[in-house]
Amino acid sequence: MKYREICEIVEKKVFSHYLYLKLKTVKIASEAKPGQFINIRAYEDSFDPLLRRPMSICGRDGDCISILVLVKGRSTKLLSEKCAGDYLNIIGPLGNSFPETGKKAVFAAGGIGIAPFLFFSRVLKPEVLLFGVKSKEFLPDMAPFMEAMEIRTATEDGSSGTKGSVLDLLKEFDLGNKTLYACGPNPMLRAINAELKKYSSADAWYSIETIMGCGFGACKGCAVETPAGDYKLACADGPIFRWDGVKL
Protein backbone atom coordinates (compact mmCIF):
# COMPACT_ATOMS: atom_id res chain seq x y z
CA MET A 1 0.00 0.00 0.00
CA LYS A 2 1.24 3.50 -0.80
CA TYR A 3 0.91 6.57 1.39
CA ARG A 4 1.26 10.31 0.94
CA GLU A 5 3.04 11.86 3.91
CA ILE A 6 4.60 15.14 4.96
CA CYS A 7 7.86 13.85 6.43
CA GLU A 8 10.29 15.67 8.67
CA ILE A 9 13.98 15.63 7.78
CA VAL A 10 15.64 14.40 10.97
CA GLU A 11 19.17 14.13 9.61
CA LYS A 12 21.08 15.64 6.69
CA LYS A 13 24.62 14.91 5.50
CA VAL A 14 26.49 16.23 2.48
CA PHE A 15 29.42 14.36 0.95
CA SER A 16 30.99 15.42 -2.34
CA HIS A 17 28.19 15.40 -4.96
CA TYR A 18 25.82 13.49 -2.69
CA LEU A 19 23.13 14.31 -0.19
CA TYR A 20 21.96 11.91 2.51
CA LEU A 21 18.57 12.53 4.13
CA LYS A 22 16.87 10.62 6.93
CA LEU A 23 13.10 11.12 6.99
CA LYS A 24 10.64 10.41 9.80
CA THR A 25 7.52 8.72 8.46
CA VAL A 26 4.21 7.54 9.88
CA LYS A 27 3.56 4.43 7.78
CA ILE A 28 5.99 4.30 4.86
CA ALA A 29 8.92 2.91 6.85
CA SER A 30 6.86 0.06 8.28
CA GLU A 31 6.04 -1.27 4.80
CA ALA A 32 9.15 -0.38 2.79
CA LYS A 33 11.09 -3.22 1.13
CA PRO A 34 14.49 -3.21 -0.60
CA GLY A 35 14.19 -2.01 -4.18
CA GLN A 36 11.18 0.21 -3.57
CA PHE A 37 11.27 3.99 -3.90
CA ILE A 38 9.54 7.19 -2.87
CA ASN A 39 8.44 10.10 -5.06
CA ILE A 40 9.39 13.48 -3.61
CA ARG A 41 8.11 17.01 -3.93
CA ALA A 42 10.46 19.45 -2.24
CA TYR A 43 7.79 22.02 -1.39
CA GLU A 44 4.27 21.34 -0.12
CA ASP A 45 2.83 24.60 -1.50
CA SER A 46 4.51 24.60 -4.93
CA PHE A 47 4.30 22.60 -8.16
CA ASP A 48 7.61 23.99 -9.39
CA PRO A 49 9.31 21.75 -10.41
CA LEU A 50 6.14 20.09 -11.72
CA LEU A 51 7.24 16.47 -11.56
CA ARG A 52 8.14 14.65 -8.38
CA ARG A 53 11.52 12.94 -8.27
CA PRO A 54 11.82 9.19 -7.62
CA MET A 55 14.42 8.23 -5.02
CA SER A 56 15.40 4.71 -4.01
CA ILE A 57 14.94 3.90 -0.36
CA CYS A 58 18.50 3.52 0.90
CA GLY A 59 17.69 2.31 4.41
CA ARG A 60 15.12 1.86 7.12
CA ASP A 61 15.56 2.50 10.84
CA GLY A 62 12.46 2.25 13.02
CA ASP A 63 9.96 4.80 11.74
CA CYS A 64 12.56 6.47 9.51
CA ILE A 65 13.73 5.87 5.96
CA SER A 66 16.84 7.26 4.32
CA ILE A 67 17.65 8.31 0.77
CA LEU A 68 20.90 9.00 -1.05
CA VAL A 69 20.68 11.77 -3.66
CA LEU A 70 23.12 12.71 -6.41
CA VAL A 71 22.85 16.49 -6.67
CA LYS A 72 22.96 17.33 -10.36
CA GLY A 73 19.74 19.11 -11.44
CA ARG A 74 17.27 21.72 -10.27
CA SER A 75 15.07 19.34 -8.25
CA THR A 76 17.98 17.77 -6.41
CA LYS A 77 19.54 21.21 -5.87
CA LEU A 78 16.31 22.27 -4.13
CA LEU A 79 16.52 19.17 -1.96
CA SER A 80 20.10 20.01 -1.03
CA GLU A 81 18.93 23.38 0.33
CA LYS A 82 16.65 21.67 2.84
CA CYS A 83 17.78 21.36 6.46
CA ALA A 84 17.02 19.10 9.40
CA GLY A 85 13.63 20.14 10.75
CA ASP A 86 12.26 20.94 7.29
CA TYR A 87 9.57 18.81 5.65
CA LEU A 88 9.17 16.96 2.36
CA ASN A 89 6.01 15.86 0.58
CA ILE A 90 6.54 12.20 -0.35
CA ILE A 91 4.55 9.26 -1.70
CA GLY A 92 5.63 5.69 -0.98
CA PRO A 93 6.62 3.00 -0.73
CA LEU A 94 6.30 2.58 -4.48
CA GLY A 95 7.17 -0.18 -6.95
CA ASN A 96 8.15 -3.78 -6.41
CA SER A 97 11.10 -5.18 -4.48
CA PHE A 98 14.14 -7.34 -5.16
CA PRO A 99 13.26 -11.06 -5.19
CA GLU A 100 15.32 -13.54 -3.22
CA THR A 101 16.31 -16.67 -5.15
CA GLY A 102 18.19 -18.67 -2.53
CA LYS A 103 21.44 -18.42 -4.53
CA LYS A 104 24.61 -16.55 -3.66
CA ALA A 105 24.20 -12.92 -4.64
CA VAL A 106 26.41 -10.39 -6.41
CA PHE A 107 25.39 -6.72 -6.42
CA ALA A 108 26.47 -4.38 -9.24
CA ALA A 109 25.89 -0.63 -9.22
CA GLY A 110 26.75 2.36 -11.34
CA GLY A 111 26.67 5.88 -9.88
CA ILE A 112 23.56 6.61 -7.82
CA GLY A 113 22.49 3.04 -8.57
CA ILE A 114 24.30 2.09 -5.38
CA ALA A 115 21.49 3.59 -3.24
CA PRO A 116 19.10 0.60 -2.88
CA PHE A 117 21.83 -1.90 -2.11
CA LEU A 118 22.57 -0.69 1.41
CA PHE A 119 18.95 -1.45 2.33
CA PHE A 120 19.02 -4.78 0.47
CA SER A 121 22.25 -5.85 2.22
CA ARG A 122 20.36 -5.78 5.54
CA VAL A 123 18.10 -8.50 4.14
CA LEU A 124 20.41 -10.43 1.80
CA LYS A 125 24.16 -10.50 2.41
CA PRO A 126 25.91 -10.41 -0.98
CA GLU A 127 29.15 -12.08 -1.91
CA VAL A 128 30.35 -8.67 -3.06
CA LEU A 129 29.15 -5.26 -4.28
CA LEU A 130 30.76 -4.08 -7.51
CA PHE A 131 30.55 -0.30 -7.88
CA GLY A 132 31.56 1.90 -10.77
CA VAL A 133 31.75 5.70 -11.15
CA LYS A 134 33.51 8.20 -13.42
CA SER A 135 36.13 9.21 -10.86
CA LYS A 136 36.73 9.18 -7.12
CA GLU A 137 35.00 12.55 -6.72
CA PHE A 138 31.74 10.77 -7.59
CA LEU A 139 32.07 8.28 -4.74
CA PRO A 140 29.55 8.88 -1.93
CA ASP A 141 30.41 8.26 1.70
CA MET A 142 31.36 4.60 1.41
CA ALA A 143 31.68 3.88 5.14
CA PRO A 144 28.09 2.59 5.65
CA PHE A 145 28.39 0.34 2.60
CA MET A 146 31.80 -0.99 3.63
CA GLU A 147 30.45 -1.83 7.07
CA ALA A 148 27.66 -3.88 5.49
CA MET A 149 29.49 -5.81 2.76
CA GLU A 150 32.65 -6.29 0.74
CA ILE A 151 32.99 -3.66 -1.99
CA ARG A 152 35.13 -3.46 -5.11
CA THR A 153 35.21 -0.19 -6.99
CA ALA A 154 36.08 0.82 -10.51
CA THR A 155 36.62 4.31 -11.90
CA GLU A 156 36.88 5.29 -15.55
CA ASP A 157 40.01 7.35 -14.91
CA GLY A 158 41.63 4.94 -12.44
CA SER A 159 41.54 7.46 -9.59
CA SER A 160 40.08 4.84 -7.20
CA GLY A 161 40.04 1.07 -7.36
CA THR A 162 40.30 -0.66 -10.73
CA LYS A 163 40.61 1.46 -13.85
CA GLY A 164 37.59 0.57 -15.95
CA SER A 165 33.92 -0.15 -15.39
CA VAL A 166 31.61 -2.39 -13.41
CA LEU A 167 31.71 -4.82 -16.32
CA ASP A 168 35.48 -5.21 -15.91
CA LEU A 169 34.90 -6.20 -12.29
CA LEU A 170 31.99 -8.48 -13.16
CA LYS A 171 34.04 -10.51 -15.64
CA GLU A 172 36.08 -11.83 -12.71
CA PHE A 173 33.04 -13.73 -11.39
CA ASP A 174 31.39 -16.93 -12.55
CA LEU A 175 27.69 -16.07 -12.51
CA GLY A 176 26.53 -19.52 -13.53
CA ASN A 177 25.20 -20.43 -10.10
CA LYS A 178 24.65 -16.95 -8.66
CA THR A 179 22.01 -14.24 -8.82
CA LEU A 180 23.13 -10.84 -10.02
CA TYR A 181 21.28 -7.74 -8.83
CA ALA A 182 22.14 -4.54 -10.69
CA CYS A 183 21.13 -0.89 -10.75
CA GLY A 184 22.55 1.83 -12.93
CA PRO A 185 22.21 3.63 -16.25
CA ASN A 186 20.90 1.68 -19.25
CA PRO A 187 24.26 1.55 -21.09
CA MET A 188 25.72 -0.25 -18.08
CA LEU A 189 22.83 -2.72 -17.96
CA ARG A 190 23.07 -3.37 -21.70
CA ALA A 191 26.77 -4.16 -21.31
CA ILE A 192 25.97 -6.57 -18.49
CA ASN A 193 23.32 -8.21 -20.68
CA ALA A 194 26.00 -9.10 -23.22
CA GLU A 195 28.04 -10.75 -20.46
CA LEU A 196 25.04 -12.69 -19.12
CA LYS A 197 24.35 -14.23 -22.52
CA LYS A 198 27.48 -16.31 -22.02
CA TYR A 199 25.60 -18.33 -19.40
CA SER A 200 22.91 -20.87 -20.22
CA SER A 201 21.11 -20.26 -16.92
CA ALA A 202 21.73 -16.58 -16.20
CA ASP A 203 19.77 -15.26 -13.26
CA ALA A 204 19.75 -11.49 -12.87
CA TRP A 205 17.43 -8.72 -11.77
CA TYR A 206 17.74 -5.06 -12.67
CA SER A 207 16.42 -1.94 -10.99
CA ILE A 208 16.01 0.40 -13.94
CA GLU A 209 16.45 4.16 -13.82
CA THR A 210 13.90 6.35 -15.59
CA ILE A 211 11.74 9.45 -15.06
CA MET A 212 8.57 8.61 -13.13
CA GLY A 213 6.04 11.44 -13.04
CA CYS A 214 3.43 10.03 -10.68
CA GLY A 215 5.11 6.90 -9.37
CA PHE A 216 2.05 4.66 -9.32
CA GLY A 217 0.95 4.07 -12.91
CA ALA A 218 -1.46 6.92 -13.57
CA CYS A 219 0.54 9.08 -16.00
CA LYS A 220 1.98 6.20 -18.10
CA GLY A 221 5.14 8.24 -18.58
CA CYS A 222 7.59 5.49 -17.62
CA ALA A 223 6.55 2.78 -20.08
CA VAL A 224 9.28 0.32 -21.07
CA GLU A 225 9.02 -2.11 -23.96
CA THR A 226 9.27 -5.86 -23.42
CA PRO A 227 10.81 -8.38 -25.85
CA ALA A 228 7.24 -9.48 -26.70
CA GLY A 229 6.47 -5.99 -28.02
CA ASP A 230 4.09 -4.88 -25.29
CA TYR A 231 4.81 -2.40 -22.51
CA LYS A 232 5.21 -2.35 -18.76
CA LEU A 233 5.37 0.59 -16.37
CA ALA A 234 8.64 1.05 -14.52
CA CYS A 235 6.88 2.54 -11.50
CA ALA A 236 4.07 0.00 -11.08
CA ASP A 237 5.39 -3.21 -12.70
CA GLY A 238 8.97 -2.42 -11.70
CA PRO A 239 11.38 -0.84 -11.13
CA ILE A 240 12.77 -4.37 -10.67
CA PHE A 241 12.69 -6.54 -13.81
CA ARG A 242 14.38 -9.74 -14.91
CA TRP A 243 17.42 -8.95 -17.01
CA ASP A 244 15.72 -10.29 -20.14
CA GLY A 245 12.25 -8.94 -19.29
CA VAL A 246 12.51 -5.45 -20.81
CA LYS A 247 14.34 -3.71 -23.63
CA LEU A 248 16.98 -1.33 -22.34
Identify whether the C-beta of residue 162 lies closer than 8 Å to the C-beta of residue 221. no
pLDDT of amino acid 219: 85
pLDDT of amino acid 180: 98
- pLDDT per residue as tens digits for the range 110-124: 999 999 999 999 999
* pTM: predicted TM-score of the whole model, two decimal places: 0.95
Residues of the chain within CATH 2.40.30.10 domain(s) are 3-93
Grade residue 208 by pLDDT with cuts at 50, 70 and 90.
very high
Detail the DSSP E strand segments found in the chain. Answer: 3-15, 18-24, 37-41, 53-61, 64-70, 87-94, 104-110, 128-133, 151-155, 162-163, 178-184, 204-208, 223-225, 231-233, 240-242
Grade residue 60 by pLDDT with cuts at 50, 70 and 90.
very high
How far apart are the C-alpha atoms of 220 and 197, rounded to whole Å? 31
- pLDDT per residue as tens digits for the range 94-152: 999 999 999 999 999 999 999 999 999 999 999 999 999 999 999 999 999 999 999 99
Residues whose CB falls within 8 Å of the CB of residue 237, separated by 6 or more in sequence, listed in order: 96
Residues of the chain within CATH 3.40.50.80 domain(s) are 104-242
Q: Does domain 3-93 have CATH number 2.40.440.10?
A: no
pLDDT at position 43 over 70: no
The CATH number that domain 104-242 falls under is 3.40.50.80
List residues bridging with 181 in a β-sheet. Answer: 107, 205
